[in-house]
Amino acid sequence: MPATAERMRMMRERRRARGLRELRLVVPDARLATVRRRIAAQVAKLSQEGERDALIWIEAVSEFDADAAR
């Protein structure tokens, strides 16, 4: 059996051949109290009007995307 690194390389090659690309995300750890406090402070600064506009735009784009998929 190939080494772990070789198996991973082979898996990535198979995925690339299928048109897939690996994506890695690094996100804040919401389990930490410091992160939750920082997020809460940022949320408190949001404007209701701006957020409402963003949600309306997201809904409009979502409906557009659903129609395009048909």
Structure tokens at 32: 């930490």
pTM score of the predicted model = 0.50
Q: Which pLDDT tens digit goes with each residue over 3-61?
A: 999 999 999 999 999 999 989 999 999 999 999 999 999 999 999 999 999 999 999 88
Count how many domains the chain has. 1
Structural domain span for residue 44: 4-69
Residues 6+ apart with CB under 8 A from 2: 10
Q: How far apart are CA 68 and CA 29, in angstroms?
A: 35
